[in-house]
Structure 1
């Protein structure tokens, strides 16, 4: 078991979040299919396809390789609580082979699905809670069984989810310029941008410099600072409310980079 800087408890491929104050999630890239339930509070999600709200009691399924920003908001009980299980590609490939289930082609539907209420899926998540109190009881064998149980319950819930779960194709090559102008504010490594545009890291950097005439890191810095300047100067927003929105990790780094570029602290604009 490990606890990340946000206070989330990570146990094998399980994640339990419990917060008593509004907080932004650090993770902005979803590497594996993720099945989760909102136990209390809500999660406000910013995605390239628009904003979503995951409310208390909702069960959702997020497709892998997604850019998502999350704001976790406690509910009336004063807490934000959620449980997620990551359905890895290895686990899904093993299940697919054993059950002889395949997807007929690439999945083209919504990458963020809200599932109708299901007492069996709800019961599944509640069955995970004791393991966060006694993590030693979650052996690798039980973790595998729980993962397979989640997959089986999803397929019983809706057999057509096989198209979602068992599409093992990787992102195809897409328009790099349009993608970056839409998604520069997500704070993920350049290697993830390369993956999402269907390129190797070397190919991404080569194509990027042909289009933008600069390196990805330099362009991202200038693009984020330019947007921050606009938000502060023209929209009257506070630097402390802006830096996360445009893709910086912390306020001090943002303030240093801003002053270096514009000659004044962001609070003085």
Structure 2
């Protein structure tokens, strides 16, 4: 069983490429070295060492990139239950706006480290240097310290945190997932995972919304954009394939021929 709050260190010298992650709790990630990219159903975000991020519980895809060869990816994590967040808002209601606001359908909050937050991260690092487990009440105090500082110094941010628990309906989740990843190489299976759906359920909902299969729809949209870039911007296929989410030029050319029946070069010559 998970503790209400856990402060952990994550350090590795092996980069991770788009791993499926199911977070059972909310999580702050304080990045020290390297770079983290997170894909959600409706968006994606990259985190660098001068920043930290709050992720709500749920499904996402994570990539961890080393800053350079022979270096580590290094972060400090605070995982916590939503109940601790609700309790904080109940106890410190005077720090929050009384205005009602439509909840944000955003599963993350990216923040910049100021001087206090840099030192706060150092304090977590110091606590984790000992081999002894951190007393649970002390971990709760550190989380409370972080929430109080954000509430006082960045009231707009704490309001965003309060509004992050909104659950969109299935149709909205699918639409956000698709529109946010048209230009990436995220697979349909990964999109279904981000939407917290089985592949068959995702395909059924997609077909009901768009009247097409997700693979075909995404291919057509990406090739429409490719054709526009080739025609209007006069760019070469070798200059745009990666931007369109393809790992290599030959795969892009094959996809283009599948929709237009000719190669990108032939398409440019005919236009």
Please give the residue correspondences for 1:62-211 in structure 2 after superposition, counting only pairs within 5 Å. Answer: 62-65=55-58, 67-75=60-68, 78-100=71-93, 104-108=100-104, 112-134=108-130, 136-167=132-163, 168-175=165-172, 178-179=175-176, 181=178, 185=187, 193-194=195-196
2:16 alignment counterpart: 23
1:250 alignment counterpart: none
2:239 alignment counterpart: none
- Secondary structure (helix, strand or coil) at the match of 2:78 reads strand
Cα displacement string for residues 187-213 of structure 1 (whole angstroms, at most 9, x for unaligned residues): 669686358xxxxxxx98985786799
Task: Report how far residue 236 of structure 1 moved.
Answer: 3.6
Distance 1:124 1:100, change over 3 A: same
CA distance in 1, matches of 2:214, 2:204: 15
Task: Report how far residue 92 of structure 1 moved.
Answer: 0.3
Distance 1:191 1:50, change over 3 A: closer
- Paired residues, what number? 218
Measured on the aligned residues, the alpha-carbon RMSD in Å equals 4.7
CA distance in 2, matches of 1:16, 1:149: 19
Distance 1:194 1:29, change over 3 A: closer
Structure of higher CA gyration radius: 2
Task: Report how far residue 39 of structure 1 moved.
Answer: 0.9
Task: Report how far residue 48 of structure 1 moved.
Answer: 5.3
2:46 alignment counterpart: 53
Distance 1:207 1:88, change over 3 A: same
Pick aligned residue for 1:37 from 11, 30, 52 = 30
**Cα contact 1:33–1:165 (8 A) shared by 2:** no
CA distance in 1, matches of 2:177, 2:37: 23
Distance 1:30 1:189, change over 3 A: farther
- Secondary structure (helix, strand or coil) at the match of 1:36 reads strand
Task: Report how far residue 69 of structure 1 moved.
Answer: 3.0
TM-score (norm 2): 0.58
Cα displacement string for residues 131-182 of structure 1 (whole angstroms, at most 9, x for unaligned residues): 4343544122122112211211222330112222222433345346535645
Q: Which has the higher contact order (CA 8 A, sep 6+)?
A: 2
CA distance in 2, matches of 1:236, 1:138: 53
CA distance in 2, matches of 1:109, 1:69: 19
TM-score (norm 1): 0.58
Cα displacement string for residues 102-137 of structure 1 (whole angstroms, at most 9, x for unaligned residues): 663343386544423312212222222244343544
Q: Which runs of 5+ in 2 are unaligned?
A: 223-244, 252-271
